Amino acid sequence: MYKVSFVIYIFLMNKQQYGFSRYLPVNSSALRWEIYCKGAGYAQIPPGADYPLVPEEHPKNYAERVKTGRVLREFQVVYVTSGTGWFEDSINGRRDIGAGDMCILFPGVKHAYSPYKETGWQEYWVEFAGAHADRLRENGLFGPANPIHHIGINRAIIADYEQIVQFCRQQTPGFQVLLGVMVLQLLAHLHVSEISSKTSHEDSELVQTARSIMQLHLEDGIEVKHIAKELGVSYTRLLKIFRQYTGLTPYQYYLQLRVYRAQELLQQTEFSVKEVAATMNFENQYYFSRIFKKKTGMRPTEWKAGPVERQAPVSAITI
């Protein structure tokens, strides 16, 4: 598996300073956490200025080819919070970008970008790598077919970057580990922002009401089509909105809630597996056991027995 790294540029900064850049050595402790920061900073590019403003602060290959086309081993993400510019890559072509646009650059994909001279722009950036970063791409959370994300001005992401820059400035003991955590938090905020941007307030309330109905009918085995009817929407609409909001179908989500409830009942010694299956209105004990193991990795009897304490035999104990 090849190693990848992300560089994330986000544009918002103190106007009294033009910027800050810091590239970091990576220690063995950070490597073991499987996600580590390789650098971070920010820059304000005023109208009429060249880009990058201070090329000497960056690796030569980064600075010289950013406007003419380059292929990097790292990931980069560009987030514009003021000003305008352009971005292009070999897969999607060229397009304008502006405030609230975040562009992810992928290793092996030729790309170029720059602010327009008339407007300039502002940026924060962070670079990171590691096996965990590799898995994010492999799991399809980010892909070169969709490099531009319209997330608007996100205060949570801005706060993440301010803290990342602070860690890079201070470099207190253990800061590399903390930087890795902050990078993950920033990417999580990006992911959540995308989900939220696709869900209206009306849709959000619909999902919350559906969840409440499910909670009221955990032991009834209510069908999803009846939930949709109670909400006054089609099953297809409920399915689409619920999956978009939670990542699960209504049926999958409801079934997981019922299994959670069954786990609680099994921990009460007075209930047998058969009684829990009947209480939760599963078709029969065998169907219940199959679903339970599929969702938890354990049979109901194993869950009910609780964790087994492993003790060494007395003869093996040395004093």
Domain boundary among 197, 217, 242: 197
Condensed to tens digits (0 to 9), the pLDDT of residues 96-133 reads 999 988 888 888 899 999 999 999 999 988 888 888 98
Residues 208 and 130 in one domain: no
Residues 154 and 280 in one domain: no
Q: Tell whether 193 and 214 lie within a shared domain.
A: no
Same domain? For 118 and 267 the reply is: no
Question: Is 80 exceeded by the pLDDT of residue 6?
Answer: no
Q: Strand 74-80 to strand 101-105: parallel, antiparallel, or no bridges (unpaired)?
A: antiparallel
Among 166, 197, 228, which residue terminates a domain? Answer: 197
Does residue 2 carry a pLDDT above 70?
no
Whether 45 maps to a domain, the answer reads yes
| Residues 181, 80 share a domain | yes
Enclosing domain of residue 263: 201-305
46 pLDDT exceeds 70?
Answer: yes
Specify whether 176 is located in the same domain as 262: no
Q: What is the pLDDT of residue 310?
A: 30
The CA distance from 136 to 134, in Å, is 5
- Give me the amino acid identity at 17: Q
66-78 confidence digits (pLDDT tens): 999 999 888 878 8
pLDDT of 309 higher than 50: no
Same domain, 170 and 243: no
The total number of structural domains in the chain stands at 2
Q: How far apart are CA 25 and CA 312, in angstroms?
A: 45
Mean pLDDT over all residues of the chain? 85
Examine residue 314 and state whether it is found in any structural domain, yes or no.
Answer: no
Are the beta carbons of 39 and 126 closer than 8 angstroms? yes
Average pLDDT, stretch 13-21?
A: 64
CATH number, domain at 217? 1.10.10.60
Q: Taking the CA atoms of 269, 272, 263 and 225 in sequence, report the sign of the dihedral they define.
A: negative
Q: Are residues 192 and 207 in the same domain?
A: no
**What pLDDT score does 83 carry?**
94
pLDDT in tens, 162-214: 899 999 999 999 899 999 999 999 889 988 888 877 777 788 889 999 999 99
pLDDT at 32 over 80: yes
Burial class (CB in 10 A: 0-12, 13-18, 19+), 219: middle
In-domain check, residue 17? yes
pLDDT at 15 over 50: no
pLDDT at 79: 82
**Residue 313 covered by a domain:** no
Predicted pLDDT of residue 74: 83
Distance CA 288, CA 302 (A): 14
pLDDT of residue 307: 65
| Distance, CA of 220 to CA of 207 (rounded, Å) | 20
Domain with 57 in it: what CATH number?
A: 2.60.120.10
Question: Is 311 a domain residue?
Answer: no
137 and 207 part of one domain: no
Final residue in a domain of this structure, among 197, 223, 240: 197
Mean pLDDT over 251-262 rounds to 92
Q: What is the mean pLDDT of residues 280-309?
A: 85
- CB burial of residue 108 (10 Å; 0-12, 13-18, 19+): exposed
Whether residue 317 is contained in a domain is answered as no
Residues 189 and 296 in one domain: no
Residue 191 sits in the same domain as residue 289: no
Kind and range of the H or E run holding 200: none
Is residue 315 a part of any domain in this protein?
Answer: no
Residues 212 and 184 occupy one common structural domain: no
Residue 310 lies in a domain: no
Kindly report the pTM of this predicted structure: 0.71
